[in-house]
Amino acid sequence: MESKDIIKGSTMKNVLIIGATSAIAHATARLFAQQGARLYLVGRNKEKLDINAADLKVFGAASVFIDIIDLDDTSTHKALIDRSIEKLSSVDVALIAHGTLADQTETQTSYEKTLAALTTNGLSYISLLTRLANYFEPRQEGTIAVISSVAGDRGRQSNYIYGTAKAAVSTFTQGLRNRLAKSDVNVLTIKPGFVDTPMTADFDKGALWASPDTVAGEIFKAINRGKDIIYTPFFWRYIMIIIKAIPEILFKKLKL
Ligand SMILES: NC(=O)c1ccc[n+]([C@@H]2O[C@H](COP(=O)([O-])OP(=O)(O)OC[C@H]3O[C@@H](n4cnc5c(N)ncnc54)[C@H](OP(=O)(O)O)[C@@H]3O)[C@@H](O)[C@H]2O)c1
């Protein structure tokens, strides 16, 4: 696919980052800041947002706005997006990155906990994407970049609730990409593997783990190039081809 350099172009510099306190989102925001972008950071923790905003100014952001919101409350999403458009004048790139990794064993025995996990990682994304699509479609340009996960590619006993939410996000963004292609709006689905961030602080790390900076670099490049789907780091594409190819009769016997 031909490279579409949309960041260096003069019109693509207003960036909305939802879940801006995430380590991956912040590392990506730094790359936008280095291009002199104007940033609108959304998160639920004011202290962390203030620290991130100051850091992004040091990295070169032309201006940084913050908006404090609990993203589980989907009734506030329309007003949130309206505020970001008003402050930035227009939004060229929207990145959605927030998330939680609830304990699977604890969550699987409680519908209430399952619903909470699905709300944060799935329904809140669908709410935001519905509103963002309504903004971008008539505008006929821009990028919606969404962090899903390799966990959505196949249900596994160790994290199928989180995986269910991510599968919904991957399928929703796939359909949205199909819808918005004719409006020249790019929808990027990002599928990270293991990334060393606060979300995975309790996990033992090994050779398959990547840093937020590595993943952010690949996200930034994919946005610039108008990509559709990325696995990050890239080798997860091949790992998931193998995982998805294992017949169910064998897969159910594995402890994955
Ligand atoms: N790390 C991995 O291995 C990995 C792998 C695949 C996909 N991902 C995905 O990558 C994205 C970024 O995660 P990360 O790894 O960068 O983890 P992270 O640093 O822990 O970031 C997650 C962020 O989501 C925010 N958040 C959670 N619930 C929220 C809510 N209701 N309202 C507002 N903010 C909320 C958290 O805010 P607080 O700081 O206020 O809690 C936190 O800043 C997530 O979508 C995650 O599912 C991560």
Spatial contact of 167 and 124, defined as CB atoms under 8 Å apart: no
pLDDT surpassing 50 at residue 10: no
Mean pLDDT across 19-33? 98
Mean pLDDT across 216-226? 98
- Could you tell me the distance, in angstroms and rounded to a whole number, from the CA of residue 172 to the centre of ligand 1? 19
CA distances (Å), origin 235, targets 90, 122, 173? 35, 25, 22
CA distance 178 to 95: 18
Position in ligand 1 atom list of the atom nearest CA 24 = 16
* pLDDT confidence of residue 6: 44
Assess whether the C-beta atom of 186 lies below 6 angstroms from ligand 1: no
Assess whether the C-beta atom of 195 lies below 6 angstroms from ligand 1: yes
Helix axes 212-224, 23-34, angle to 10 degrees: 50
Q: State the pLDDT confidence band at 5, using cuts at 50, 70 and 90.
A: very low
pLDDT digits (tens, 9 = 90+) for 136-157: 999 999 999 999 999 999 999 9
Position in ligand 1 atom list of the atom nearest CA 72 = 31
pLDDT digits (tens, 9 = 90+) for 77-97: 999 999 999 999 999 999 999
Position in ligand 1 atom list of the atom nearest CA 166 = 47
pLDDT digits (tens, 9 = 90+) for 98-134: 999 999 999 999 999 999 999 999 999 999 999 999 9
Tell me what percent of the residues of the chain surpass a pLDDT of 90: 94
The separation between CA 150 and the C-alpha centre of its own chain, rounded to angstroms, equals 12
pTM over 0.85: yes
| Domains of the chain (ranges, CATH numbers) | 14-197+210-251 (3.40.50.720)
Token couple for 237:
């594409």
Name which of 39, 36, 35, 34 is nearest 14 in CA terms.
39
Contacts of 185 (CB under 8 A, 6+ apart): 133, 136, 137, 139, 140, 141, 142, 143, 144
Assess whether the C-beta atom of 233 lies below 6 angstroms from ligand 1: no
Please give, one letter per residue, the 3-state secondary structure of the chain. Answer: CCCCCCCCCCCCCEEEEECCCCHHHHHHHHHHHHCCCEEEEEECCHHHHHHHHHHHHHCCCCEEEEEECCCCCHHHHHHHHHHHHHHHCCCCEEEECCCCCCCHHHHCCCHHHHHHHHHHHHHHHHHHHHHHHHHHHHHCCCEEEEECCHHHCCCCCCCHHHHHHHHHHHHHHHHHHHHHHHHCCEEEEEEECCECCHHHCCCCCCCCCECHHHHHHHHHHHHHCCCCEEEECCCHHHHHHHHHHCCHHHHCCCCC
pLDDT digits (tens, 9 = 90+) for 176-208: 999 999 999 999 999 999 999 999 999 999 999
